[in-house]
């Protein structure tokens, strides 16, 4: 979500912009002082519209009606118009020898946007209307099987998907959820057209290039960097894929799961087959029970949704961070209301860029949501840490950092930690680690290619390489290429399967999640060293380490004030993202997978 603040006076921009427009060719060019004044005024103006849009979006996500959707669209239109106006005006200072901080802010005016819009106000309004409408369509989506009377929302379908082993039921749920997205197909094509026009107005070839330009390196270099990181972890993923496919074939038969072919998407325990932990019972090693079931521990200890959030807060407190404000507990959404439609997709919000931080999620008392809460709180603590930065710097070093911080904390949810907080009575013996590692790999490692391909699809759509007539074909080509996963039934261009994933209609960039999965292990390895924890990396918990908390907070406080390699160096001592920490973490599992895959035919 876009972040905002309150309490800031808005200096008038009109005089400055008018002076820019009427300056004659004989007059001297813009000065350093004018550039600095422009940036100051731009930040103040943006803060005001950001907070208006955030409040409107909060209400729309929590009270989905035609009226709240219209209000949110109007507020988003104002943000788009102001941002595009200021980003275009910033180009006037491209040749001015301004200070590095000012230069960085001028660039951030262009690249920090997730959505660019054309200059025409009518087209801005159209684009904002499309985005809010698509998100509302997703948020209100249901599937009504059978007689059509007992409809299922996404949360209900996800629970069934995680538990069912009936292939017919799984296929029905899989195809049923994807009936919500075909109406988004034409709007999405128009969305891409308008967003690309806005990106071109800012000097980029398309919206994808604008997104890739926001990583302190040329867009093409960033694309190469992603492939470098993927090449580091792909062998581990392929080993996991090979083992999972073989075990699924044992469970369902080789006619359903043929060897040497991509895995059917409905058999992996997740609506988008992006994580596979829900099929651990099928693919897990014999006689290697992890020694505990976190969901059952939460249930047996009578932990309610609010207390789950308290566990997350106490973890950050143990690192030396201040407790969350009272308003967090008063204003967040923790459980799904029974009287209205809401967007249940978990998210973290910062409505005033100072202290009004919140989470919005429909918490279930289970292991997955326990981890998700730590992830979302990571956003909130990051937001609080950089609140003293200037407005354009009140975000993370890059968007992968924002996603990775909470996940770094979640890696410390080890058996030792669960014993320390009283959820588990004793630490299981080390010979149970294989089960723990496999379960986590089914989440973290399995996610990697999905985290990469979602934006690969969008970037190809934005560039025109994937045309509207091939939206669905392009989606499944990439899923086969990166994930080795195929649609379980024939799909056509009457379908729009990308729209069945929240981040597509919500226009939320997705590469950040791939980067976060790399960075969290890199952060974890470094913080474990700072905390002085010895032993295997997968058994390390930094809970209670003030030294680790101090190092982490030093990075969080920087926000986006410096290029991300500077922030990375504060925690890790490295200036390059490095996936070897993930390989170190899962090294014992890799040995076991190699043993299991001996004699199997891997790949697809």
Of the chain, the end-to-end C-alpha distance in Å amounts to 37
Residue ranges in 112-166 assigned as alpha helix (H): 121-139, 154-163
**pLDDT tens for each residue of 436-467:** 899 999 999 999 999 999 999 999 999 999 99
The answer to whether 371 and 410 are in contact (CB under 8 A) is yes
Which DSSP state fits 288?
-
- 592-597 long-range contacts (CB < 8 A, ≥24 apart) are 592/285, 592/434, 592/438, 593/239, 593/240, 593/242, 593/243, 594/239, 596/243, 596/246, 597/239, 597/242, 597/243, 597/246
CB 70 within 8 Å of CB 55: no
Local confidence band at 5 (pLDDT 50, 70, 90 cut-offs): very low
Closest CA to 392 of 98, 19, 36: 36
426: buried, middle or exposed (CB in 10 Å: 19+, 13-18, 0-12)?
A: exposed
Q: Which residues are catalytic?
A: 345-346, 375-376, 379, 403, 503, 513
Question: Is 429 a residue whose pLDDT tops 90?
Answer: no
Q: What is the DSSP string of 223-275?
A: HHHHHHHHHHHHHHHHHHHHHHHHHHHHHH-TTTS-TTSPEEGGGSSSTTSS-
State how beta strands 347-350 and 357-360 pair: antiparallel
pLDDT, one tens digit per residue, over 573-582 is: 999 999 999 9
DSSP state of 140: T
pTM (2 decimals)?
0.87
At 28, is the pLDDT very low, low, confident or very high (cuts 50, 70, 90)?
A: low
More confident residue, 509 or 23: 509
264-283: pLDDT as tens digits: 999 999 999 999 999 999 99
Token pair in block for residue 276: 């596979």
> For residues 285 and 188, what is the distance between their CA atoms, to the nearest angstrom?
43
Digit-coded pLDDT (tens) for 528-559: 999 999 989 999 999 999 999 999 999 999 99
CA–CA distance, 496 with 350 (Å, rounded to integer)? 32
If we measure between CA atoms, which residue out of 283, 182, 250 comes closest to residue 497? Answer: 182
Give residues with Cβ within 8 angstroms of 389, minimum separation 6. Answer: 557, 558, 559, 560, 561
Could you report the per-residue pLDDT of 164-187, keeping only the tens digit for each?
999 999 999 999 999 999 999 999
CA-to-CA separations, 595 to 235, 247, 272, 280, in angstroms, rounded: 15, 14, 29, 18
3-state secondary structure of 348: strand
Among 40, 55, 52, 36, smallest CA distance to 9 is for 40
Q: Which two tokens stand for residue 205?
A: 């070839």
The sign of the dihedral angle between the CA atoms of 344, 346, 350, 355 is positive
Strand (E) positions, 263-412?
A: 263-264, 347-350, 357-360
* Cβ-contact 188, 504 below 8 angstroms: yes
Handedness of CA 227, 228, 230, 235 (dihedral sign): positive
- Residue pair 166/88 in contact (Cβ under 8 Å)? The answer is no
Only one residue has tokens 């058994």, namely 539
What CA–CA distance (Å, rounded) separates 47 from 7? 9
With 0-12 / 13-18 / 19 or more C-beta atoms within 10 angstroms meaning exposed / middle / buried, residue 193 is: middle
The pLDDT value given to residue 113? 78
Cβ(128)–Cβ(84) below 8 Å: no
CB-based contact 421:439 (threshold 8 Å): no
- CB-based contacts of 168, cutoff 8 Å, min separation 6: none
30-88 pLDDT, tens digit per residue, is 899 999 999 999 999 999 999 999 999 999 999 999 999 899 989 988 988 898 899 88
Compute the average pLDDT of residues 112-132.
89
Q: How confident is the model at residue 485 (pLDDT cuts 50, 70, 90)?
A: very high
């Amino acid at each position: 979500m876009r972040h905002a603040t309150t309490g800031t006076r808005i200096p008038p921009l009109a005089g400055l912009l008018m002076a820019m427009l009427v300056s004659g060719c004989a007059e001297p060019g813009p000065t350093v002082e004018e550039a600095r004044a422009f940036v100051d005024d731009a930040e103040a103006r943006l803060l005001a519209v950001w907070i208006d849009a955030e409040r409107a979006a909060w209400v729309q996500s929590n009270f989905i009606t035609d009226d709240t959707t219209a209000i949110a669209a109007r507020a988003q239109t104002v943000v788009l118009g102001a941002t595009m106006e200021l980003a275009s005006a910033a180009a006037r200072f491209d040749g001015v020898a301004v200070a590095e901080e000012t230069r960085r802010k001028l660039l951030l005016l262009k690249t920090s946007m997730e959505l660019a819009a054309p200059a025409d106000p009518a087209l801005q309004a159209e684009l904002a209307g499309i985005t809010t409408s698509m998100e509302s369509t997703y948020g209100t989506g249901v599937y009504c099987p059978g007689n059509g009377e007992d409809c299922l929302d996404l949360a209900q379908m996800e629970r069934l998907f995680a538990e069912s082993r009936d292939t017919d039921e799984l296929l029905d749920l899989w195809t049923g959820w994807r009936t919500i997205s075909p109406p988004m197909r034409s709007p999405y094509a128009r969305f891409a057209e308008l967003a690309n026009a806005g990106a071109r107005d800012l000097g980029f070839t398309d919206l994808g290039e604008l997104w890739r330009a926001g990583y302190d390196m040329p867009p093409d270099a960033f694309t190469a960097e992603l492939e470098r990181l993927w090449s580091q972890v792909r062998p581990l993923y392929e080993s996991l894929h090979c083992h999972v496919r073989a075990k699924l074939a044992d469970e369902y038969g080789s006619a359903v799961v043929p060897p040497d072919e991509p895995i059917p998407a409905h058999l992996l325990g997740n609506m988008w087959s992006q994580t596979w932990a829900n099929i651990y019972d099928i693919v897990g090693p014999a006689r290697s029970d992890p020694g505990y079931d976190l969901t059952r521990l939460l249930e047996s200890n009578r932990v309610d949704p609010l207390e789950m959030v308290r566990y997350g807060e106490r973890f950050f407190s143990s690192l030396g961070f201040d407790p969350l404000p009272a308003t967090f507990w008063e204003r967040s959404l923790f459980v799904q209301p029974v009287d209205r439609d809401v967007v249940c997709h978990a998210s973290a919000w910062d409505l005033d860029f100072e202290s009004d931080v919140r989470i919005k999620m429909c918490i279930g008392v289970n292991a997955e949501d326990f981890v998700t809460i730590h992830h979302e709180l990571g956003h909130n603590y990051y937001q609080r840490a950089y609140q003293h930065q200037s407005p354009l710097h009140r975000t993370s070093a890059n968007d992968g950092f924002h996603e990775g911080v909470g996940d770094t904390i979640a890696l410390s949810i080890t058996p030792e930690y669960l014993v320390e907080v009283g959820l588990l009575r004793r630490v299981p013996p080390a010979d149970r680690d294989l089960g723990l590692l496999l379960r986590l790999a089914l989440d973290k490692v399995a996610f990697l290619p999905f985290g990469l391909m979602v934006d690969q699809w969008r970037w190809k759509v934005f560039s025109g390489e994937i045309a509207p007539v091939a939206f669905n074909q392009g989606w499944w080509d990439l899923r086969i290429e990166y994930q080795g996963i195929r649609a379980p039934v024939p799909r056509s261009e009457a379908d729009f399967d990308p729209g069945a994933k929240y981040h597509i209609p919500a226009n939320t960039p997705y590469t950040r999640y791939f980067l976060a999965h790399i960075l969290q292990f890199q952060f974890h390895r470094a913080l474990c060293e700072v905390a002085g924890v010895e032993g295997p990396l997968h058994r390390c918990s930094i809970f209670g380490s003030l030294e680790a908390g101090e190092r982490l907070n030093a990075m969080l406080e920087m926000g986006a004030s410096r290029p991300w390699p500077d922030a990375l160096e504060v925690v890790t001592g490295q200036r390059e993202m490095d996936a070897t920490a993930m390989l170190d973490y899962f090294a014992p599992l890799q040995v076991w997978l190699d043993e299991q895959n001996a004699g199997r035919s891997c790949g697809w």
